[in-house]
Amino acid sequence: MTTDTRGPSIAHVGAIRFQRYLGVIVAAFGLLYALQTLDALVVDWPTMAGPLGGAAVALVAASVLLGTVAGLVPSRARSLFLAAAIVFAAAVVVWPWSIRAPVPDTPMPWFIGVLPVEAAYLTVAFRRHAAPVAGSVLLSVVIALLLVTRGGLGPADAFANGLFGIAISVALVILIAAVRHGVARADRAQQAALAGYGRSRLDDATESERVRTDALVHDSVLTTFLAAAAARDEEAERLARRMAANALRVLAHVSRASDTGHGVPFGKALSDAADRFAPLLPGWEVQEVGALRDLVVPVSAADAVVDAMLHAIEAGQLHAEGATTRSIRMSELGPDGLRIVVTDDGAPLDPAEPEHERAALLRVAAELMRSIDGRADIRSEPAVGTTVTLSWGSVVVTGTAPRPEPTEVPA
């Protein structure tokens, strides 16, 4: 059984859509608000003489232009809004060197008037509100001090202007952050609801499949027993015994499968054990998990297969003299199973040798696979190396695995 892989593509779609709309709204706000401050620019322009004054105004215009472009390019919006805020900070650095006359206190100084635009840009550029608040407060304080030291404005007027810049900038940041937080919370609630619905559908499908499989297995067992009762010669009796043993084994497997609880994608089981694999994998060529990542298996089976893999990989590193290649390949096996092949071309071993450390690890892996009705096939030959094949699924349980039956360590 393979899960539907469309789930991750819709994760956080609400938050992503809101971020796109927010960029457009802030870009439009920045442009319109900046245009509304042109009267302050006209009044302040005579105080900014020479090329530096033109450079300061050009930098502010470039900041607003960058912010406008950011709303049209959602994929680069955050970086463009951050660049716009940096350009405005550069304008604040250039501006005091251009002042040649006292800055009038009416209307509000132009650089204070434009501050809310930059606060909005910073809010979009950063996910958390601490950086936009700190940046807006810092710019307001710096501009207020420059109005006193370079612009000839009185401390009271400069303080009032700076306080206005801080208040309106912080209010904008908090407002946008609150809306963003609300959208993210609603998005998480939606994802939780979708995940719950998906689990319910999976559980319902699993239960339906289990009932259907139970019926088929019981019919198979009944047919097998009828065939055994009708046997008249020794060969037919041997065949009937094999069929009956296999049918009972499958029936026991299905009965246990109903008590395993929820399944887990095999890819998640592997990622949960990443810390255990990390020290063992250097030097191994590992094939991508691929479709096996979404294969849903019982939790007990996933844990046992992962433990068996770890033992097989560890065994492949012990006393495998002369090994130049070590590889791990994983693939689906049948409609609901998996196969993992761990190979090294080092020195061979006898899996039945009681004192051999590698053989002991592989026997543990075989026992783990046997405990979940799986197989651990071990082949070790001179000049070829050792291959450990871990198999699990209904194909393995019914004894119809495409691999040949004779094995050194059946499981």
CATH of the domain at 289: 3.30.565.10
Whether residue 131 is found in the same domain as residue 274: no
Whether residue 44 is found in the same domain as residue 174: yes
340 has a pLDDT exceeding 50:
yes
Residue 219 inside a domain? The answer is no
Into how many domains does the chain fold? 2
Instruction: Mention every residue, 6+ apart, whose C-beta is less than 8 A from residue 325.
Output: 285, 343, 344, 345, 385
As a whole number, the mean pLDDT across the chain is 79
Domain boundary among 128, 160, 191: 191
Nearest alpha-carbon partner for 44 in 26, 30, 57: 57
Q: What is the pLDDT of residue 4?
A: 40
Whether residue 270 is found in the same domain as residue 351: yes
Domain boundary among 157, 191, 225: 191
Tell me the pLDDT tens digit for each residue of 69-126. Answer: 998 888 888 899 999 999 999 999 998 888 888 888 788 888 888 999 988 999 888 8
Residue 392 inside a domain? The answer is yes
224 has a pLDDT exceeding 70:
no
The mean pLDDT value for 120-133 works out to 86
For residue 189 the two structure tokens come to 């609630």
Residue 409 inside a domain? The answer is no
Domain boundary among 168, 191, 214: 191
The larger pLDDT score, comparing residue 12 to residue 153, is at 153
Instruction: Mention every residue, 6+ apart, whose C-beta is less than 8 A from residue 308.
Output: 364, 365, 366, 368, 369, 374, 376, 390
Using an 8 Å Cβ cutoff, are 96 and 150 in contact? yes
The mean pLDDT value for 48-63 works out to 89
Tell me the pLDDT tens digit for each residue of 265-319. Answer: 888 888 888 888 888 888 888 887 777 888 888 888 889 999 999 999 888 877 5
Residue 253 inside a domain? The answer is no
Q: How far apart are CA 361 and CA 208, in angstroms?
A: 39
383 has a pLDDT exceeding 80:
no
**Amino acid code (one letter) for 18:** F
Whether residue 185 is found in the same domain as residue 300: no
For the ranges 6-10, 261-265, 375-379, the lowest mean pLDDT is seen at 6-10
3-state SS assignment for residue 252: helix
389 has a pLDDT exceeding 90:
yes
The mean pLDDT value for 34-51 works out to 87
Whether residue 187 is found in the same domain as residue 278: no
Nearest alpha-carbon partner for 125 in 60, 81, 85, 90: 81
Whether residue 268 is found in the same domain as residue 390: yes
Whether residue 12 is found in the same domain as residue 128: yes
The mean pLDDT value for 165-190 works out to 83
Domain residue limits at 270: 263-397
Q: What is the pLDDT of residue 410?
A: 43
Residue 375 inside a domain? The answer is yes
13 has a pLDDT exceeding 70:
no
Q: What is the pLDDT of residue 158?
A: 86
Q: What is the pLDDT of residue 5?
A: 40
Whether residue 66 is found in the same domain as residue 180: yes
Residue 356 inside a domain? The answer is yes
Whether residue 74 is found in the same domain as residue 168: yes
60 has a pLDDT exceeding 90:
yes
Q: What is the pLDDT of residue 407?
A: 43
The mean pLDDT value for 173-183 works out to 83
Residue 254 inside a domain? The answer is no
Q: What is the pLDDT of residue 374?
A: 87
Residue 380 inside a domain? The answer is yes
Q: What is the pLDDT of residue 261?
A: 53
Q: What is the pLDDT of residue 87?
A: 93
Kindly give the interhelix angle for 13-36 and 77-94, rounded to the nearest 10 degrees.
30
Whether residue 183 is found in the same domain as residue 277: no
Q: What is the pLDDT of residue 351?
A: 78
Whether residue 172 is found in the same domain as residue 290: no
Nearest alpha-carbon partner for 390 in 381, 324, 298, 407: 407
Whether residue 286 is found in the same domain as residue 369: yes
DSSP state letters, 15-49: HHHHHHHHHHHHHHHHHHHHHHTHHHHHHHGGGB-
